[in-house]
Amino acid sequence: MRFKTRYRYWHVMLVFFALGFLAMIAYFLTSMSESTKEVAEKITENESKKKSLPGSGIQPLLGFFYYVTFFYFTLNYYYNLLAANKRFGAFFKTSWMIVLAAFIYHLFLYYFLPGALMNEYSSPVRMFFVMLGNMIPPFVICYIIAYATISREALKQRHILEAQKLQLETQISQANFNFLKAQINPHFLHNTLNFLYAKSLPYSPELSEGIVTLSDIMRYALSQGNQKDGKAPLKDEIEHVQNVIKISQLRFSNKLKVNFVIEGNVEGLMIIPFVLITLVENAFKHGDLKNPDYPIDIKLRVGNGGLYFRCTNKKKSGPKQLASGGIGLDNIKKRLELAYGEKHKFIISNEADFYTTELIIEKL
C-alpha cells in the first residue's frame, strides 16, 4: 500500500493553535466570574507545584507537540487504511502501534521529566491504562475525520466521472450528428423544399404552409450542430416549438387543443437546444390531443435571467404507444445536469390521468 500524506503537519498544528486560542478565551471568560484573589491563589499554587518537579516548565509545549504529532500520524494512517478498504484488523494493529509509541514517550517523561506529566502516576502500569483511556476519544475523532474526508473525495470523484462520461456521450452524439449531417446536403434540401412550396402554392395553401414550416424546422435542427458553446437563442427554441405545434395542427386539420403562453422578454437569452421541444413532443406523443376540456397546457416564463417552463397533458386512454428512439427524457436530464448543475430543477409528475414536466433554470 502506497502511503499518502493527506493531512500536512503544519495544517494539524494550525488547527491546534486555533483550538488552543479558543480554549484560552474560554478560560479567561470563566476566570472573570471568579474573584481576583481566588484566581491569584490558584495560579500561585499551580506555579509552586510545577517548580518542584523537573520539566514542569515545558509541559504545555510538550503536550502541544505530542497531540499534534499523534493526530498527524493517526489521521494519515486511518485515511490510507480507509482508502485501501482495509478491514478492522488493520485499524486495530495500527492503533496499537500508535499506543505503543505514545507509551514509550510517556515512559521517557515518567523517568526523566516527571514534571512534564499532567498527572502524578504511582507506577508505569497505572500510567499506561490512564493513557489508554485518554486515547480512545482521539482515536474515534481521527476515524470520523478520515472517514468524512474519504467520503467527500469519493463523492467528488464520482461527480467528475459522471461529468466526463456525459461529456463523452455528448461528443459521441455530436459526432453522430455531424456524420448524419454530412450525408444530407442542407442547400439541396432547402432548395427542394422551396421548389415544392412554389409548386404546391397554387393548389393547396395549407400544404405549402406545411412545407415552409418543415423547411424552418429542418434549418433549425441542422444549424444547431454548429453552435460552439452548445446553446441556442431562446427565441429560436421557442419559434421551433411553435413550428412543431403548427405542423402538428396541419396534420390533424387544426383540431389539436394546445395552449402555449409566453411571459417575459426572451431577447438575448440562450438555452441548450432541443430541450423544450423534447418535452413538447413527449406531450404530443402521449397526450390526449383532441379533448377540449383538457388541452395541452404549455407555459414559459422568463425573468431575472432565469426560466420556468411547464408542460401538462392529459394521458391517452387505451393501450400505450411503444417508446421510439430519440433524445429522450434521460438524455435531457444528463444535458441539463452538465449545462446547469445545481442551478436547475427538472421535475416530472406522473399522475393517474395527467403527466407534467417542469423545468426551472435559475440562470440561463
pLDDT in tens, 16-70: 888 878 877 887 777 665 554 454 555 555 544 444 445 555 667 777 888 889 8
Closest by CA to 249, choosing from 220, 210, 212, is: 210
User: Which class is domain 255-361?
Assistant: alpha beta
In the predicted model, is pLDDT for residue 310 greater than 90?
A: yes
What count of residues does the chain have? 364
Residues of the chain with CATH 3.30.565.10: 255-361
| Banded model confidence at residue 324, pLDDT cuts 50, 70, 90 | very low
The predicted-structure confidence for 66-102, as pLDDT tens digits, reads as follows: 888 989 999 998 888 888 888 778 888 888 888 888 8
Greater pLDDT, 55 or 292: 292
Q: What is the pLDDT of residue 112?
A: 73
- Does the CA dihedral 326-330-333-335 come out positive or negative? negative
Question: Cα(309)–Cα(346) distance, rounded to whole angstroms?
Answer: 10
The residue ranking higher by pLDDT, 312 or 170, is 312
pLDDT of residue 82: 87
- Calculate the alpha carbon distances from 165 to 33, 179, 313, 331 in Å: 61, 21, 33, 12
- Classify 347 as helix, strand or coil: strand
Please give the Cα distance from 190 to 110 (Å, whole number): 93
Q: What share of the chain is helix, strand, coil (3-state, %, to 5)?
A: 65, 10, 20
* 3-class secondary structure, 336: helix
Task: Give the pLDDT score at 326.
Answer: 43
* Max Cα distance, the chain (Å): 116
Q: Work out the number of other CB atoms within 10 angstroms of the CB of residue 327.
A: 15
Give the cell for residue 204. 393547396
Q: Which H or E run contains 22?
A: helix 9-32
pLDDT at position 227 is 61
